[in-house]
Amino acid sequence: MSAQQSQLFGGSWTEEKLDKLQRYLLAYKTVLKNQPFTLIYIDAFAGTGYREIVNGGSADGQLFTELAESEPQRFLDGSVRIALKVDPPFDEYVFIEASEKRFSELPKIEEDFPQLASRIQLIKGDCNDRLQELCNTRDWNYHRAVLFLDPFGMQVEWNTIEAVAATKAIDVWILFPLGVAVNRMLTRNGEIPKPWRSRLDRLFGSDKWFEEFYEEKVTSTLWGDKRRLEKVANFRRIAYYYMEKLEKVFAGVADNPIQLRNSKGVPLFLLCFAAANPSGARVAIKIAQHILGK
């Protein structure tokens, strides 16, 4: 896998990811307009439907402080409203949100889009549980979907990614928490707190990431050899490892993911695209790579 990582800088990274999603949704609807499938848009972190400015702070302490931009508070269309404005519309919309407060705001979108209200399904709950349930209960011979995975941090677990790939029917845009979480959890000396290791295990699907990101170094001294662990992972190596994992389970993966950075130049996420359907992957990847390249 030869990932050609581009970079997006500054406060525009949120707009850029949404712009690329919108462009893909428009192309997707055009390509599949005459196909006999029920077309679904799935948003696993629906929020309130609007784009929200992140205030920072989480269970991981200071890991996510770079997300707090000093931009003015604005209420712009989030991914939910962008998807609802795509014309022609999708046959179904599935919006998942874990937060009670944000979920309570979601019914307003049915008022704002009354012509689509009957097609909207609002689901409260953990993205992993709800997505796996959806993947395992639908008859994917008759359905096709685009999934947007836009987590704040490390919420998306690898078994969920595997469930999505197993449908052989879902195209997915993934924001992988490259710098905002993963790189920070990989301490220089390999002494990683147990809760962090557990989260990394769930994110990558096993503990094999450790041997990929650390090497044992031997230093000769007067008292014999001294062994220590040293972090060898950088942003590119972490991204490469995750992309390789995607390639093992999906029919196709765009080879030009984009590093999203905040206005201080700090890498936050890696925007990736993968297609699960073997017959449709070639076209889907071609479109996604074109969009990622611009």
What domains lie within the chain, and their CATH numbers? Answer: 6-179+234-292 (3.40.50.150)
E strand segments, 208-257: 214-221, 224-231, 252-253
pLDDT at 48: 81
pLDDT at 12: 79
Q: For the residues of 108-159, what is the DSSP string, one character each?
A: HHHHH-GGGGGGEEEEES-HHHHHHHHHHHS-TTSEEEEEEE--SSS---HH
pLDDT at 23: 98
Q: Name the DSSP class of 74.
A: -
Q: Dump pLDDT digits (tens) for 214-248.
A: 998 877 666 666 778 999 999 999 999 999 999 99
**Mean pLDDT over each residue of the chain, to the nearest integer:** 88
Q: Lowest mean pLDDT: which of 48-57, 90-99, 112-121?
A: 48-57
- Residue 134 clears pLDDT 80, i.e. is over it: yes
pLDDT at 68: 42
Model confidence at 90, pLDDT cuts 50, 70, 90, reads very high
Helix, strand, coil shares of the chain as percentages rounded to 5?
A: 40, 25, 35
Model confidence at 262, pLDDT cuts 50, 70, 90, reads confident
Token pair 């845009």 in the structure block, residue: 173
Q: Dump pLDDT digits (tens) for 138-184.
A: 999 999 999 999 998 899 999 999 999 999 999 999 999 999 999 99
pLDDT at 64: 52
Q: Dump pLDDT digits (tens) for 61-89.
A: 445 544 444 333 334 578 999 999 999 99
CA distance 175 to 258: 10
CA distance 80 to 215: 43
